[in-house]
Amino acid sequence: MGGDHGPVVTIAGVDLAAQRHPDARFMLFGDAGAMAVPVAKAKYLQGRVEVHNAEVTVAMDEKPSQALRRGRNRSGMWLAIDAVRKAEAKAVVSAGNTGALMAMSRFVLRTLPGIERPAIAAIWPTLTGETIVLDVGATVGADARQLVEFAIMGEAMSSCLFGKEHPTVGLLNIGTEEVKGNDSVKEAGRLLREMKLPLRYEGFVEGDDIGKGKVDVVVTEGFTGNVAIKTAEGTARMINTFMRQAVMSTMVSKLGALLASGAFTKLRDRLDPRKHNGGVFLGLNGVVVKSHGSTDALGFARAIEVAIDMVRNGLTQRIAMDVAEVHGMLPLGDHHGETAA
Amino acid sequence: MGGDHGPVVTIAGVDLAAQRHPDARFMLFGDAGAMAVPVAKAKYLQGRVEVHNAEVTVAMDEKPSQALRRGRNRSGMWLAIDAVRKAEAKAVVSAGNTGALMAMSRFVLRTLPGIERPAIAAIWPTLTGETIVLDVGATVGADARQLVEFAIMGEAMSSCLFGKEHPTVGLLNIGTEEVKGNDSVKEAGRLLREMKLPLRYEGFVEGDDIGKGKVDVVVTEGFTGNVAIKTAEGTARMINTFMRQAVMSTMVSKLGALLASGAFTKLRDRLDPRKHNGGVFLGLNGVVVKSHGSTDALGFARAIEVAIDMVRNGLTQRIAMDVAEVHGMLPLGDHHGETAA
């Protein structure tokens, strides 16, 4: 039911994913009345879909606390997440309210043993391919230990999504020297250097290193990560508008742009946000993927495929194992697993 | 002496600024031997320049603490800043080591009464013109009170540089609701709302609002601001590379790009980092402007012009007055002025 366009777009996206993944099956949770026509139109879903009616739909602008109260046990979002908890589904994908999705996912699925706080990981296009950046908004002010956990989770996701055997990991900072940054980043850097974790820690990276693709995984706390990803999106949109205005200003440049349209298509394609759609919630007992609310069917299908990749490659199990392995190595007090939200 | 290219470029930049501002006079501090030829070549500097020899040149990669020890009283950087303190110069402009320039500036010039910490303000190109973003790296982890001071300083700079009578101010956050963000941002938001300062506070803004030009001044602490500006630069460079690769991939698109070259020039012009060059150190007893180290003569001249605008419009006095005015309104304990670095 979520996203800016509702089930017409999301179900078309499910259909596209069904076409590409003939062995996948789907459960849809929401207003059965609103879903009936899009489901009937979905060519590849026939015989492979269960529709579950839900009385309540979480609104896009609802506060997470209110969504939890109002939507508990009866919203489509809750029921979809609960299907993962009950092992009826392998993963949940939503284009709905991010804060509500995270709050319900933490409540229903809980964090993995040894993980203090969850993170949202974004897939970021770079000069050399794609980099995973986390956290982009789940845990504001993550401390050193949580940053180390994010590094472990991001590395596992990079392996699962891109098949990299030994992904490289960097800590986002304002300089590359050891003395730079705030206390939690410096301390996390020290831990990652000294703990001899089975991951390739490459040290500090700066904001402009993300687009260069300097490392496969960039780790930061949720406030900075959220500002960074939105600033990058804003910059890309601004340049796009400038380019359009510049090209449209004379007849000759319009003609030139027409001839170069193949190149522009290629450029748009590389930066297409639909191809990098899918914010993965890491650190929970189950796979949860958040699609951009403004995406179309193609973008929603991509988010589903990210979820499929995560399930196929055993992301949750891998994170659980990696964390268990380093659990005794983390010197910063006890782990409490899930803490009060 | 600073920057990636040294005095050949910086002095050519001074010459360009001299040409545009016939009433300005210049003092150069550095290795007199290295400066002799560029100065002799500088057409517009003749009769308007004093060359001061300095025994020590601060290296671009020197630690600020080491630069302070080694360069005190005898580096070009120190002597230039000291000329401002002694009122022999109105402003100092440097393309050198940012950390060293800030450390020396704080040491020599001190912060203004009522200002706890300095900030570095950047000039950011946007869809609607230019926005001032601060702090981009001077004060990591600024607290609520310091963020309010940054708001006052940024507003003063916007007035001085762009002649805006009532610039709008926003606080960088990860959402626009009052409950979003970390404690210092929420508290700063509350202070700015409730204090009835003589500035137009527009509430929280997000990373993608910067490029839209939603407000004239964006306030954030130094860690996030530094990551944001470098991420934007990295994104712009990445898109530029993608565009080049796409255009060069076929003969037809190359021809198209040739026809559209006027448009590309216009685009480059709007994003030209040289036109937005000049990080202004705010909150000190004097005007200090930091040029990008990698800029050319045109960019260095722009940094000098930013300094000239600041001096002409009485930035330092204006900040001192604004801060004195709101001094009694800030409820968070005593002001100590300069604190130990």
Structural domain boundaries, residue A73: 7-109
In sequence order, what are the beta bridge partners of A27? A50
User: What's the pLDDT at B253?
Assistant: 80
Considering the domain boundaries, does residue A282 fall inside one?
A: no
For A172, name the nearest residue in chain B, comparing CA atoms only.
Answer: B227
Q: Are residues A150 and A104 in the same domain?
A: no
Alpha-carbon distance of B99 to B71, in angstroms, equals 13
Which of the listed residues A109, A140, A164 is the one where a domain comes to its end? A109
CB contact under 8 A, A228 and B223: no
Give residue B338's pLDDT band: very low, low, confident or very high (50, 70, 90): very low
Q: How far apart are CA A115 and CA A119, in angstroms?
A: 10
Of the candidates A314, A276, A315, the residue with the CA atom closest to the CA atom of residue A122: A276
CATH code of residue A213: 3.40.718.10
Q: Is residue A298 a contact partner of residue A13, using CB atoms and an 8 Å limit? A: yes
Whether pLDDT at B333 is above 50: no
- Interatomic CA distance for residues B176 and A139, integer angstroms: 17
Give the three-state DSSP class for B48: coil
Candidate from A142-146, A328-332, B106-110, B213-217 with smallest mean pLDDT:
A328-332
User: Which tokens sit at A339?
Assistant: 């803490």
Q: Which amino acid is at A231?
A: T
Q: Does B131 lie in the same domain as B268?
A: yes
Residue reference for tokens 């993962």: A84
Which one of A57, A84, A109 terminates a domain? Answer: A109
State whether A81 and A155 are in the same domain: no
Other C-beta atoms closer than 10 Å to the C-beta of A337 total 12
Q: What is the pLDDT of residues B280-291, one digit of tens each?
A: 999 999 999 999
Looking at the fold, whether A143 and A96 belong to one and the same domain comes out as no
Q: Would residue A305 count as lying in a domain?
A: no
Q: Are residues B104 and B124 in the same domain?
A: no
Q: Which tokens go with B227?
A: 């990551």
* Res. A329 pLDDT band, cuts 50 70 90: low
Q: For testing the chain A interface, which of B208, B233, B240, B267 should be mutated: the one with the most A CBs within 10 Å?
A: B208
Q: Would the pLDDT of B336 be above 80? A: no
pLDDT at B332 > cutoff 60: no
Q: Do A56 and A168 sit in the same domain of this protein?
A: no
Domain end point (choices A56, A85, A109): A109
Output the CA–CA distances (angstroms, integers) from residue B171 to A99, B48, B200, B201, B280, in the order listed.
21, 43, 12, 8, 19
Q: Do B151 and B86 belong together in one domain?
A: no
DSSP lists the bridge partners of residue B91 as B287
Residue holding tokens 């509702």? A6
How many Cβ atoms from other residues are within 10 Å of residue A293's Cβ? 15
Residue A93 CA: distances (Å) to CA of A28, A112, A291, B232, B244: 10, 19, 7, 30, 36
> Which of B220 and A275 is assigned the larger pLDDT?
B220
Q: Which of B185, B222, B231 sits opposite A228 (nearest CB)?
A: B231
Nearest CA in chain A to B228: A228
| pLDDT band, very low/low/confident/very high, at B335 (cuts 50, 70, 90) | very low
Of B153, B146, B94, residue with least CA distance to B116: B146
CA B73 to CA A162: how far, in whole Å?
55
| B333 within a domain of the structure (yes/no) | no
Mutation test of the interface with chain A: which of B227, B243, B250, B294, choosing the one with the most A Cβ atoms within 10 A?
Answer: B227
A105 and A152 inside one domain: no
Span A224-276, pLDDT tens digits: 999 999 999 999 999 988 888 888 888 888 888 888 888 878 888 877 878 88
The tokens of B258 are what?
Answer: 């040739």
Mean pLDDT check: name the lowest of A324-328, B68-72, B132-136: A324-328
Nearest by CB: B232 against A231, A257, A261: A231
Question: Which strands sit side by side in the sheet containing A217-219, from one edge to the other?
Answer: A91-94, A287-290, A279-282, A119-126, A129-134, A217-219, A168-172, A200-205
Tell me: do A156 and A105 sit in the same domain.
Answer: no
The model's pLDDT over B139-177, given as tens digits with 9 standing for 90+, comes to 999 999 999 999 999 999 999 988 888 999 999 999 888
Residue the block writes with tokens 């003749």: B46
- Residue B266 with chain A: CB contacts under 8 Å: 246, 249
In a domain, B270, yes or no: yes
Question: Which among B53, B103, B94 is positioned nearest to B74, based on CA atoms?
Answer: B53
Residue of A nearest to B209 (CA): A234
- Which of A230, A240, A254 should be substituted to probe chain B, the one whose Cβ sees the most B Cβ atoms within 10 Å? A230
- Closest C-alpha to B224, from B276, B277, B185, B271: B185
Work out how many domains chain A is built from and give that number: 2
A280 found inside a domain: no
Together in a domain, A249 and A126:
yes
| In-domain check, residue B235 | yes
Q: How far apart are CA A151 and CA B148, in angstroms?
A: 34
**ipTM of predicted complex:** 0.88
What is chain A's mean pLDDT, rounded? 91
> Is the pLDDT confidence value at A335 over 60?
no
Contact between B49 and B28 under an 8 Å Cβ cutoff? The reply is yes
- Give yes or no: residues B93 and B153 share one domain: no
Q: Do B243 and A267 touch (CB under 8 A)?
A: yes
Alpha-carbon separation of residue A137 from A141, A272, A273, B55, B147 (angstroms): 10, 22, 18, 50, 21
Question: What whole-number distance in Å separates Cα of residue B264 and Cα of residue A164?
Answer: 37
Measured CA to CA, the distance from residue A177 to residue B173 in angstroms comes to 27
Find, in chain B, the residue whose alpha carbon is nearest to that of A126: B238
Say yes or no: A90 and A175 in one domain: no
- Position A333 confidence tier, pLDDT thresholds 50, 70, 90: very low
pLDDT at A31: 96
More confident residue, A308 or A325: A308
B138 located within any domain = yes
Q: Does a structural domain hold residue A310?
A: no
Query: Residue B283: which of B83, B149, B93, B184 has the closest Cα?
Result: B149
Could you tell me if A288 and A101 are in contact, meaning their C-beta atoms sit under 8 angstroms apart? yes
CATH number, domain at B74?
3.40.50
